[in-house]
């Protein structure tokens, strides 16, 4: 292992909403580690919290789809530890959370929350992981609206550098949609606490391509960006939150 290839993969697989079909599967560890009771309690609490957030996303998107004469279908949430199998291929802890359009499921490894805080410097608190889930639900919304299918066709036609630009647009739109969810969820349920938005912005900034490249290789290569810079991701999320207006969504491959 190691070398340039490992650095490139490390820079890719920790991105939010990464494409699992492009990530090499890792070999499962031969000896599963026993989970402490404290860690299990923490995982149970996280699973419960994510279930609440997913239900909140359904309430908002149900309403927004209905207002536009459409029917919203909720994605399934799969929480796993270590390794799992998705409709898009293997899922493992190294890939980070992702949405699989083939089975309409969101996959989140429970260790990612700690990773978000330890590796990416996101602030402590519940809201960063709510942002992560809302971002993946954003990819599900894109799938329901046909954006995913359009970009899949473009992938066959464009060079990797050209498609990277489309990929950035897809991810920024998902960040915007996450912000839209927060906008309406706050209107409906008034759940935001002081510091929540700052935590979400911290999470968005932590997974900017420029920040991840800087940490992994010490340099920045804009032509390799697939998710957008920290500033772009924060701007997209903030625009969605401030406006709640789907017509102001960042365009994808227009």
Mean pLDDT over all residues of the chain? 78
Buried b / exposed e along 54-72 (16+ C-beta atoms within 10 A): bebbebbbeebbeeeeeeb
**How confident is the model at residue 74, as a pLDDT?**
96
Strands 105-109 and 98-100 turn out to be antiparallel
Q: 135-165 burial, b for 16+ CB within 10 Å, e for fewer?
A: bbbbbbbbbbbebbeebeeeeeeeeeeebbe
Mean pLDDT on 123-149: 88
Residue 20 has pLDDT above 70, yes or no: no
- CA-only gyration radius of the chain, Å: 17
Per DSSP, 220 falls in state -
Q: Does residue 10 register a pLDDT over 90?
A: no
Q: Give me the pLDDT at residue 41, please.
A: 74
Domain boundaries, the chain: 3-24+36-248
**Residue 234 predicted with pLDDT over 70:** yes
pLDDT tens by residue, 70-81: 999 999 999 998
Q: Alpha helix locations (H) across 21-101?
A: 37-67
What pLDDT score does 206 carry?
A: 66
């Amino acid at each position: 292992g190691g070398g340039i290839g490992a650095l490139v993969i490390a820079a890719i697989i920790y991105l939010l909403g990464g494409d699992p079909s492009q990530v090499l599967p890792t070999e499962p560890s031969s000896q599963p580690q026993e989970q402490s009771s404290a860690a299990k309690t923490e995982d149970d609490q996280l699973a419960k919290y994510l279930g609440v957030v997913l239900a909140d996303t359904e309430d908002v998107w149900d309403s927004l789809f209905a207002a536009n004469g459409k029917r919203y279908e909720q994605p399934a949430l799969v929480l796993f530890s270590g390794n799992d199998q998705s409709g898009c291929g293997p899922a493992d802890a190294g890939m980070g959370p992702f949405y699989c359009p083939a089975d309409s499921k969101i996959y989140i490894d429970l260790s990612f929350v700690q990773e978000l805080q330890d590796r990416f410097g996101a602030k402590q608190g519940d809201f960063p992981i709510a942002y992560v889930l809302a971002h993946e639900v954003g990819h599900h919304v894109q799938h329901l609206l046909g954006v995913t299918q359009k970009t899949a066709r473009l992938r066959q036609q464009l060079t990797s550098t050209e498609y990277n630009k489309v990929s950035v647009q897809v991810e920024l739109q998902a960040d915007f949609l996450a912000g839209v969810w927060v906008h309406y969820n706050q209107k409906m349920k008034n759940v935001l606490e002081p510091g929540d938005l700052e935590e979400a912005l911290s999470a968005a900034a932590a997974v900017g391509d420029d920040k991840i490249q800087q940490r992994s290789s010490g340099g920045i290569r804009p032509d390799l960006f697939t998710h957008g810079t920290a500033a772009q991701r924060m701007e997209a999320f903030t625009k969605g939150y401030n406006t709640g207006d789907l017509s102001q969504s960042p365009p994808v491959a227009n």
